[in-house]
Structure 1
Amino acid sequence: MPRTPMMTYSGQLKKVTGLYRRKARHQYGQAIVEGPQGVREALVFMRSNVRDVYVTEEALGRHPDIDSLLQESDPYTHVLPADLAQQVAPNAQGLFVVISVPDEENLDEIMAQASLLVCAIETVDPGNLGTIIRSADASAADAVILGTGSVDATNPKVLRATAGSYFHLPIIEDEDVERVVNGAHHAGFQVLIADGNGEYDLGELSDAAFLAGRDARPLETIDLRRPTMWLVGNEAHGFTAKQYNWADALVRIPMWGASESLNVAMATSLCLYSSARAQRRA
């Protein structure tokens, strides 16, 4: 279909800007994806969910691969002048799309086949959640689960921080974390929390998994080769006593410098990578 010039701020663009608000995203079941990386991944991995594409001629010139993807999939494409695109989506670098938010997959079915999960209890910082999703993708985790009270995954800041990983793995939102933990235990998962005072050292667990894997010996305690769900706490408040009790073990990340602690997204990344490495070696 032909690319349509859109020269003025229309009612359609007003609806697009509304998608920066959670209420509108939930009302319409839509989200805005900004920037070349997010747009590229949406067109490749979730093409059928792309509703409208908004571009500038300059942006298409900078990203001929996206131009080719648009010609191939032929979605509704609107060409905006640079100043109007900047007004609507100032962080999009002249490329943004509106998607229909995909239906969530069934969590019980995921758990029946999964080996690595991450569950955020109340992660409220969009940048942290986006990084956690990106790290989960890089570690080939089977899903990211968001507990009630977490920022929603379609928040534009979250989507930007995922760098397209939003489109690569299931994200289950607004879950009762206690129910999730019970389901994980029932499915045979060990549930772990990263904590500075943890009984187990992540580096030692990684070493033990490697040595045991050489002759396939099962470990009697925490074994990173086992199906694992990592719990992620709130950035400011950490975990409550009740939430600590959900875990099978607390795992500390060794630090040799003067830092008091790690950012929650960084800590989660290290934990996911350690589990993924142990499972793949096994």
Structure 2
Amino acid sequence: MPRNDDLLDNPRSPRVRAVAKLAKRDARSETGLFLLEGPQAVSEALTYRPELVLELFATPTAIERYDTIEQLADEAGIDVEFVTEAVLSTMADTVTPQGLVAVCRQFPTSVKEIFAAADGEGPKLIAILEEVRDPGNAGTIIRAADAAGADAVIMTGRSVDLYNPKVVRATTGSLFHVPVAVGIELPAIIARCREAGVQVLAADVKGDDLLAARQGGLLDAATAWLFGNEARGLTDENLARADAAVVVPIYGHAESMNLATAASVCLYESAFAHRA
């Protein structure tokens, strides 16, 4: 346990304020850094991408509760800086933080890397997010893509910032598992898909039934699923850019389906088809 005089205890210190500012997009863009919170996300970062972790702050209580974090940090050669609860609360974006905050370097993947052949094969499953604005949806789709074994996620410049703290939290660490490219315009992405022999399927209410697509073998091919805005979906222009449109059917009485839920179904249907 650290002594009291070893604790960072001033919530108004410039260092604490610099970390807290990373909740804002301007600060993230200026520094190339982002905020990581909670034991699950911090553990995944230390396990899979420790070179990205620049600073790690924790309350003594949190380190006692999540003792593997200190071990992972030690193995990665990262010092844990102990802070008071007040300092941790100032740094964190959440209302009830879990005692752990890390400052990490941003690490977007390039589209060129995503479409580079691996072992003679290109990508089989990709999620494309066009104007997805809700951080929770974006993060959950990244998490679902990771779970379904997708090769990558691509977020157009009209979507929410990948390093928004709410997006990062919603990925629950999947951000460190699956490559994510950002800031590319949709026409360029679709052109790269066509060059790589990857079909683009738009998830849209105007599309054909997903079950019919599944039974007809449409999902057997390498696929990039295109997901649009939560409220408006895809524009007619962007819908026309896809090779086909598919809708997840609703068999009950729900008015609609949450975007992230529908995306999870689509990604898993492709994953099942590719492994059948």
1:62-81 alignment runs, 5 A limit: 62-81=65-84
1:68-217 alignment runs, 5 A limit: 68-89=71-92, 91=94, 92-102=97-107, 104-111=108-115, 112=117, 113-199=122-208, 201-209=209-217
Structure 2: distance between partners of 1:240 and 1:8: 50
Q: Aligned partner of 1:190: which letter? A: Q
Structure 2: distance between partners of 1:43 and 1:141: 22
1:213-228 alignment runs, 5 A limit: 223-228=218-223
- Give 2:250's aligned residue: 255
Structure 1: distance between partners of 2:112 and 2:28: 26
1:90 Cα deviation after fit? 5.3
Q: Aligned partner of 1:137: which letter? A: D
Closer, same or farther in 2 for the Cα pair 1:70/1:184, shift >3 Å? Answer: same
TM-score by length of 1: 0.90
Which shows bigger deviation, 19-28 or 104-113? 104-113
Q: Aligned partner of 1:206: which letter? A: R
Structure 2: distance between partners of 1:37 and 1:179: 35
- Give 1:16's aligned residue: 19
Q: Secondary structure at the match of 1:71?
A: helix
- Give 1:40's aligned residue: 43
Structure 1: distance between partners of 2:188 and 2:74: 45
**Paired residues, number:** 265
- Give 1:220's aligned residue: none
Structure 2 residue ranges without an equivalent (≥5) = none
Q: Aligned partner of 2:214: which letter? A: S
Closer, same or farther in 2 for the Cα pair 1:122/1:52, shift >3 Å? Answer: same
Structure 2: distance between partners of 1:232 and 1:238: 8
Structure 2: distance between partners of 1:80 and 1:56: 5
Q: Aligned partner of 1:204: which letter? A: A
Structure 1 residue ranges without an equivalent (≥5) = 210-222
User: 1:102-121 deviations in whole A, cap 9, x for unaligned?
Assistant: 2x333134224211001111
Q: Secondary structure at the match of 1:123?
A: coil
RMSD: 1.6
- Give 2:225's aligned residue: 230
- Give 1:7's aligned residue: 9
Check the 8 A contact 2:199/2:243 in 1, yes or no.
yes
1:255 Cα deviation after fit? 1.4
Q: Secondary structure at the match of 1:268?
A: helix
Tell whether 2:236 aligns with 1:245: no
Q: Aligned partner of 1:125: which letter? A: D
Percentage of identical aligned residues: 40
Check the 8 A contact 1:51/1:76 in 2, yes or no.
no
Structure 1: distance between partners of 2:51 and 2:34: 14
- Give 1:28's aligned residue: 31
Check the 8 A contact 2:70/2:80 in 1, yes or no.
no
The runs of at least 4 aligned residues of structure 1 exceeding 3 Å deviation read none
Check the 8 A contact 1:196/1:261 in 2, yes or no.
no
Check the 8 A contact 2:204/2:233 in 1, yes or no.
no
TM-score by length of 2: 0.91
Q: Secondary structure at the match of 2:104?
A: strand
